A and B are shown apart, each in its own frame.
Chain A
């Protein structure tokens, strides 16, 4: 299940993943074409044309089913990904309502991929001490700072999902969780993904490291194109002149001080699907 707010990169990752699966550039291969391919096909087409997919509308078809196998494994699985608008996930936090149709996805075989985009304009920083001092002196300031920080949404979603997994699959079920920082190419500093979370989303970072969340979690950085197709015309030209499906990479963090770049955007999916890499 892909989880993330508006502009977190869920859909673009899904389309890029489909390109990799369809072209069999990674460890995950298609086992025939999905019966319903329109959403994936159109999204992939945008990436192959050098454009990121736009914001997912609320009415977009949302559940993709891709029959897959892993290299060297004959077992065929159905990768089922409900890809929904980030606003729906925001509503889960703000209105405390869970779509009952999603209960079907919460099973003992489910896993989760949580997306947050580096540098997204949708990201809301946590309140700092200075702002809180002002809040307590002036209620009008409190009103203006009413937006909850992104890290609170992320923690709340994971807590909510854990509760739902317990109800749907039992407390002994420990799903895999990939936390994916997308647009990793925009992270200028020499940081690993976990260090990036510690800097930008300290509450989420602690929550993951405390390991009371009830998932088997790993953190990754991903760039699906290797650069900015929207704002870097030189990069876009180079991307189109060569092979788009050869662009993109994952950053794995096997420890706080180490990172490893892999020219395969599917690495977070491998972890989520139970294949360590």
Chain B
């Protein structure tokens, strides 16, 4: 690849190849091995996912809707993000919503092609501060901007991209709640649970119990504001059909019972070959709910001692000052 610029294993971009290495000299961030021949070059933003510092830069420029996307392993979190991106990519957003850019467009393309997978053997224990091109997938954020035309508003949205093991860990151990402190700044929480697991008698009760525990953790240990919208994304409706399982309503009732005042539940099918459940089913509705939450007024919270809370807490007070306008 150093000669031709093309990966012999057909990875595209070439940087996704597990054998891809960049040559660095003298600890300088600029890579002096050029694109071609003797070209001197400088590294650009990798665009795979965003670390904390990169999200903070975004937030400094424009109000950013932060969405905490949670769910255990294989609940469809990545598929949900991929499906949202594909709606935009194919021009199938509703006419009043336009794709306005993404700081992680490469990351979306890689996730769509399952080229950016979690390495289960070595999951980090903190959200990455800053991403580099050669890094494997690490807990961070993906970004997309939309412009809604009715009314005319700009929505910069950042979704957390976390391994499912973290959600499971939070249920079991309060000690890891610090990783989730950024959620105190969240404009919305999306909790992914698969529809088949809510229909199956052998798993339904456990799923409800897990969700109850997680919601309580979010309330008591992570200390989420109870007015933050809690959106249940009931995924894999390509398997179960277009209707919400009855247990989904129990989830919402449980959330309200724990004090969350603003709950939604949407049947979701990121990809589907059913006629009654098309691909992207429910994703647009979920986005509408998220965009709607970005306009809600939230109180300014005092910063706390947790470093990760401080990472976004200082932007709480900007919500009204930076209200997106045309």
- Total A residues in contact with B, Cβ cutoff 8 Å: 49
Q: Is the CB of B44 within 8 A of A97?
A: yes
Contact indicator per residue, chain A 59-98, by CB within 8 Å of chain B (1) or not (0): 1000000000000000000000000000110011111111
The residue from A132, A133, A146 contacting B11, defined by CB atoms under 8 A apart: A146
Chain B: interface secondary structure?
loop
Instruction: Answer yes or no: A202 CB below 8 A from chain B CBs.
Output: yes
A128 to B90, CA, bound (A): 7
Across-interface contacts of A149 in B (CB, < 8 A): 89, 109
Instruction: Answer yes or no: A210 CB below 8 A from chain B CBs.
Output: yes
Output the nearest chain A residue to B148 by Cβ-Cβ distance. Answer: A210
Q: Is the CB of B113 within 8 A of A98?
A: no
Across-interface contacts of B43 in A (CB, < 8 A): 96-98
The residue from B14, B103, B109, B147 contacting A95, defined by CB atoms under 8 A apart: B14
| Shortest Cβ gap from B173 to chain A (Å) | 31
Q: Is the CB of B45 within 8 A of A91?
A: no
Q: Is the CB of A132 within 8 A of B82?
A: yes
A135 to B78, CA, bound (A): 13
A247 to B84, CA, bound (A): 44
Interface residues of A in 122-171 (CB under 8 A from B): 126-129, 132-133, 135-136, 139, 142-143, 145-149, 151-152, 155-156, 159-160, 163
Q: Is the CB of A95 within 8 A of B13?
A: yes
Across-interface contacts of A92 in B (CB, < 8 A): 35, 44
A139 to B279, CA, bound (A): 19
A156 to B44, CA, bound (A): 11
A135 to B245, CA, bound (A): 27
A206 to B98, CA, bound (A): 5
Q: Is the CB of A94 within 8 A of B13?
A: yes
Across-interface contacts of A136 in B (CB, < 8 A): 79, 114, 271
Q: Is the CB of B106 within 8 A of A156?
A: yes
Instruction: Answer yes or no: B273 CB below 8 A from chain A CBs.
Output: yes
Q: Is the CB of A98 within 8 A of B114?
A: no
Across-interface contacts of B246 in A (CB, < 8 A): none
Output the nearest chain A residue to B4 by Cβ-Cβ distance. Answer: A87
Interface residues of A in 206-241 (CB under 8 A from B): 206-207, 209-213
A147 to B276, CA, bound (A): 31
Given the known interface contacts A207-B99, A210-B98, the answer about A127 and B86 at a Cβ–Cβ threshold of 8 Å is: yes
Across-interface contacts of B5 in A (CB, < 8 A): 87, 91, 94-95
Q: Is the CB of A155 within 8 A of B105?
A: yes
Q: Is the CB of A202 within 8 A of B100?
A: no
Q: Is the CB of B113 within 8 A of A209?
A: no
Across-interface contacts of B82 in A (CB, < 8 A): 132
Q: Is the CB of B89 within 8 A of A101?
A: no
Interface residues of B in 210-255 (CB under 8 A from A): none
Q: Is the CB of B100 within 8 A of A207?
A: yes
Given the known interface contacts A152-B105, A152-B109, A212-B154, the answer about A206 and B91 at a Cβ–Cβ threshold of 8 Å is: yes
Q: Is the CB of B36 within 8 A of A156?
A: no
Contact indicator per residue, chain B 8-42, by CB within 8 Å of chain A (1) or not (0): 00111111100000000000001100111101111
A146 to B113, CA, bound (A): 7
A149 to B108, CA, bound (A): 12
Give me 6 other A-B pairs in contact (C-beta within 8 A), A88-B39, A95-B35, A149-B89 excluded.
A58-B36, A94-B12, A97-B43, A133-B272, A147-B12, A148-B106
CB-defined A-B contacts under 8 Å, sample of 15: A87-B36, A91-B36, A94-B13, A96-B47, A100-B41, A101-B40, A126-B89, A133-B272, A142-B114, A146-B113, A155-B101, A206-B91, A206-B93, A207-B101, A212-B101
